Amino acid sequence: MTREPDQGIDALPDPVPITAVSGFDACLEAPGSKSITNRALVLAALAEGTSTLEYPLVSTDTVRMAIAMERVGANIDREAGSWIVNGLGSNGPTAASLDLGDGGTPARFCAALALLGHEPITVDGSSRLRQRPMEQGLRMLQELGASIECLQEEGHLPVRICGPSGSGSTLSIGRTASSQFISAILLVAPRLPGGIRIEFTEEPTSSSYIRLTIDLLRQWGITVEHDDAFSRVQVHPGPITPRHCFIEPDASTAIYGLAAAAISLDSTVTVPGIGKDSLQPDIEVIRCLQRMGADVHWQDDAVSVTGSSRLHPIQVDASLFPDGAVLLAACCALADGASEITGLHTLRVKESDRITALHTELEKVGCSVQSTDDSIRIEPGDRTDADVMIRTYDDHRIAMSMAVLGTRLGGLSIEDPACVIKSHPGFWHDMATLGAIDGGWLYEAGSNGDT
């Protein structure tokens, strides 16, 4: 059964108290990948025919993205377990006003869609999304011929965009605050008459997500070329072939249950559907947990993590998996020495200022924390308060990461637990399965925990 994003959430106590647990052995099924679901929605919406997305993630981000695709002209039948998408084909997107909530990726993907038509698309979102940087990406769209009108503050949402259905072009791109606009342009490039060629003058931010985009383009029948150094990417024009797309389970949500096992003695979590060859960037978090001392067992289509008696500190550049680094930082609070995570400059402009949020909340549990615009250093210590209230900043990854830490420490209470519906509506069901929270309210609300 595919659960709607908010089913059962109203029954959550706020804050949610987390109980320390150990000795569990659980199989947790991750929902479909958010990154893949959003990219597949764009490709299916632009395809010439009917595509089926099997096991898409049902969350606030992806549902808003699907509604946006409908408003620009695609037809989507969101059935339980699969979404059937009738694409636009040779038609351009229609005029629409789109509210993407907190979704930075959906907002940037929808902005690029305007390159394919002559009718204006207005993109807006929450107050936090309006604060997030858009100027670099909007400038890219202007270089490709789009007309841009920022309706309030320059370089920020809301923005009205009208594209020329242009001839394609070459973009020269240096260091950017986010890779999402680059992926957005790559996704619509096959529908530009000349395709697109992108030349990178510096290593692109979060290039792992660009590689994921390229892999999906190829799966949908698009010719993409790049050099070995990844300094040049060319997407050739051509029809987007409709397909039956299986959405791989989400590494970005699987890592929370796996980390709970890694920090707990004699505990094991297995997640089916994710193998060692996955291209999802957050798979690197699992490898980092292994470096820290967890026992990781990879199979072709599953991964298991078992905790050890001690966690080693880690020094790691997380520039290829910055979102997953939030969870890794929480785990470092339990290491037997100081850890340092670098490559985090994008975290300042996510759903919250995640570096500041981590700094503040990890100090509450006794850690000595030092942070810069690009890094965080965490030295574990003893907390002075038995019970700690964790602020989540309306940020799903802060909520989930600190809840995982609570499964070892106990005594943590997570404010605004409903914020997890942005990416992982089943998170609290997983915590109940491990015994870290009282799951009675979830099942009384009529949800079976499947996503």
Residue 10: active-site member: no
Catalytic entry in 99, 323, 394, 416: 323
Give the 3-state DSSP-derived string for the chain, with helices as H, strands as E and coil as C: CCCCCCCCHHHCCCCEEECCCCCCEEECCCCECHHHHHHHHHHHHHCCCEEEEECCCCCHHHHHHHHHHHHCCCEEEEECCEEEEECCCCCCCCCEEEECCCCHHHHHHHHHHHHHCCCCEEEECCHHHHHCCCHHHHHHHHHCCCEEEECCCCCCCCEEEECCCCCCEEEEECCCCCCHHHHHHHHHHHHCCCCEEEEECCCCCCHHHHHHHHHHHHHCCCCEEECCCCCEEEECCCCCCCCEEECCECHHHHHHHHHHHHCCECCEEEEECCCCCCCCCCHHHHHHHHHCCCEEEECCCEEEEEECCCCCCCEEECCCCHHHHHHHHHHHCCCCCCEEEECCHHHHHCCCCHHHHHHHHHHHCCCEEEECCCEEEEECCCCCCCCEEECCCCCHHHHHHHHHHHHHHCCEEECCHHHHHHCCCCHHHHHHHHCCCCCHHHHHCCCCCCC
Residues tagged active-site = 323
